[in-house]
Amino acid sequence: MSLISVSHLSMAIHSLAILKDLTFAIEPGKVFGVVGESGSGKSMTALALMGLLPGGARTSGSAMLGDTDLLSAPEDRMCRIRGNQIGMIFQEPMTALNPVQTIGRQVAETLVIHGAANRAEAMTLAREKLDRVGLPADRFPLDKYPHELSGGQRQRVCIALAIALRPKLLIADEPTTALDVTTQAQILDLLKSLVAEDGMALMLITHDLAVVSDIADQVAVMKSGEIVEQGNTDEVFRAMRHPYTRALFAASAHIPDRQARARDEPILEVQNAVRRYALPRRRLLGPAPTFTAVNDVSFTLHMGENLGLVGESGCGKSTLTRAILGLEPLQSGQIRLFGEPVAPGMANALRSGVQVVFQDPYGSFNPRWKVAQLVAEPFYLMQARPADWRDRVAEALVSVGMTAPDMDKYIHEFSGGQRQRIAIARALILRPDLIVLDEAVSALDVSIRAQILDLLADLSHRLNLSYLFISHDLSVVRAITDRVLVMQAGEIVESGRTEEVFTNPAHPYTRALIDATPKLPDRRV
């Protein structure tokens, strides 16, 4: 007997169809994976089961939990089910907890609100639950506030409050997407053990095929609000009957066609770079403690080379990037670009030789400017904007696969992948030799990501560009770089040719990173 059986679930928001005729069942004590790209309706399916759809949503069909239809149950009935029979955790652990309440109270609240315990008992139980999710009492007392915890620790608190009443089903909506790979592996282990030991069912929503194939018993592949294929994970991923499933796999494992063309001509030389920050003083007039974000880092990037820089959040990648772009001073050591020293006051002409593409294709453009203005902005580094600037904008847009007429549109008219192409066009407009790609494909869906990687490989080949490719995603770095640097706690712990580092990691941290990365199952096409 299924725990939840959904039949013919459809949902529309103001006559726009979001979910189309979904039928699936979640078995007790099993992991049900839902994969698909953004906008495929994965999260909406979960919110429909929780009765937390946005205003204006109309559902049809049924979703039976025992003899209750989750789609038509009245609100007070749903309030008793949420948190009690179905728990849910979300993607963004940094904002999922109330910042002004202690973690103990937030976990205890689940128990109090359902009348399972009085306040004092609830605090005792909250302690047990936090222990259960791996937050021991000595380091994580109940009176800690969320801002005192890391992302992974916060996600554990979210799990603790979602499972406090031992729900029959836990819905996890991209629970590890915002986390580092090693933290992701720990959270996935925790979720697995909750299923294995407590007999809970898990509905795991993710865009990451490797995560699903690793943990899910059953899987449903979603596209544009429909389930295109579902079944036992092994079978679905082995047979890959539906072309979309095959396309997703191909995109996830995509390796652009490229050859190493590095010449022995250094563009960027970083020598013993050190960047320290002063922290707030502990005492009013005492010495300010310092934090060393980048510690004695040295490397050289050659003409035409694609260099990867991997490491987890907080390892100093971004600080190093800002120093290379001449946005932050160094405390010692130096950075030379084309032989010239890089520092915050450097000449504009030198800056024009290195451009950058950031992660967020939505936040990195001024929404009130037209594309032509956005792409032409780096021209301010030159004495005067060249007379043929519109032609050059058109040329840059065409070279990233857009069209010249796109320059008279506004940025909101483009999708995330198109915006990232425009960001690359902006980086290309001054014909630089080096482009810094800071997590430039991390926010993109796998199919878009594959296209952007192809584009980058092609541009590097055609324009003889060098890349410094910064990412936490090892598979992407492996696909596109010649050499790789592994950074941990401000230091480069390993460097070498990409294939060698990945097949034969020398440093234990590199090994840990590679082991923690979920792997796609072998394809048997």
Partner 1 sequence: MLRFAASRLISLSLSLLAASVVIFAVIEVIPGDPAAFMLGLNAQEDTVAALREQLGLEGSVINRYFGWVGGMLTGDFGTSYTYRVPVADLILARMWISLPLALYALILSTLIAFPVGLIAAARRGRPADMGIMGVTQLGIAVPNFWFAMILVVIFAIKLRWFSAGGFPGWDNGFWLGLKSLTLPAIALALPQASILARVMRSSVLDTLDQDYIRTARAKGLNRSQAIWRHGLRNAMIPVLTIIGMQFSFLLAGAIIIENVFFLPGLGRLIFQGITQRDLIVVESGVMLLVFAVITVTFLVDLAYAAVDPRLRRRG
Residues near partner 1 (CB under 8 A): 50, 52, 75-76, 79-84, 87-90, 92, 95-101, 109-110, 113-114, 145, 147, 158, 161-162, 280-281, 284
What whole-number distance in Å separates Cα of residue 118 and Cα of residue 188?
A: 32
3-state secondary structure of 312: coil
Yes or no: say if 42 and 34 are a contact pair by the CB < 8 Å rule: yes
The smaller minimum CB distance to partner 1, of residues 57 and 327, is found at 57
Token pair of 46 as six digits: 């979960």
Residue 99 or 339 with smaller CB distance to partner 1: 99
Name the minimum Å distance from CB 19 to partner 1: 19
Q: Minimum distance between the CB of residue 18 and partner 1, rounded to whole angstroms?
A: 18
Q: DSSP secondary-structure letter at 91?
A: S
Q: At closest approach, how far in Å is the CB of 50 from partner 1?
A: 6
- Amino acid in the structure at residue 222: M
Of 90 and 237, which has the nearer Cβ to partner 1?
90
Q: Strand 332-337 relative to strand 340-341: parallel, antiparallel, unpaired?
A: antiparallel
CB-nearer residue toward partner 1: 90 or 140: 90
The conformational region for residue 66 under phi > 0 = left, psi -120 to 50 = alpha, else beta, is left
d(CA 201, CA 32): 8
Please check whether residue 287 is in contact with residue 281, taking contact to mean a CB–CB distance below 8 angstroms.
Answer: yes
CB of 109 to partner 1, least distance (A): 6
Cβ proximity to partner 1: between 52 and 260 the closer is 52
Which residue, 45 or 110, is less far from partner 1 as judged by CB? 110
Of the pair 145, 358, the CB lying nearest partner 1 is at 145
Minimum CB separation of residue 89 from partner 1 in Å reads 8
- What is the nearest approach in angstroms of partner 1 to the Cβ of residue 171? 8
Nearer to partner 1, 163 or 452 (CB): 163
CA distance 23 to 227: 8
Dihedral angle over CA of 408, 412, 417, 418, nearest 10: -10
CB of 311 closer than 8 Å to CB of 486: yes
Please calculate the CA angle 269-302-395 and round it to the nearest 5 degrees.
110
| Minimum distance, C-beta of residue 110 to partner 1, in the bound complex (Å) | 5
Q: Nearest approach, Cβ of 82 to partner 1 (angstroms)?
A: 4
Using the minimum distance from each CB to partner 1, give the nearer residue, 50 or 191. Answer: 50
Total residues belonging to the chain: 525
* C-beta separation of 447 from 247 below 8 A: yes
**Cβ-based nearer residue to partner 1, 87 or 308:** 87
Q: Is 103 helix (H, G, I), strand (E, B) or coil?
A: helix
DSSP string across 330-397: -SEEEEEETTEEP-TT--HHHHTTEEEE-S-TTTSS-TTSBHHHHHHGGGGGSSS--TTHHHHHHHHH
Taking the complex as a whole, the smallest distance from the CB of residue 427 to partner 1 amounts, in Å, to 32
CB of 88 to partner 1, least distance (A): 4
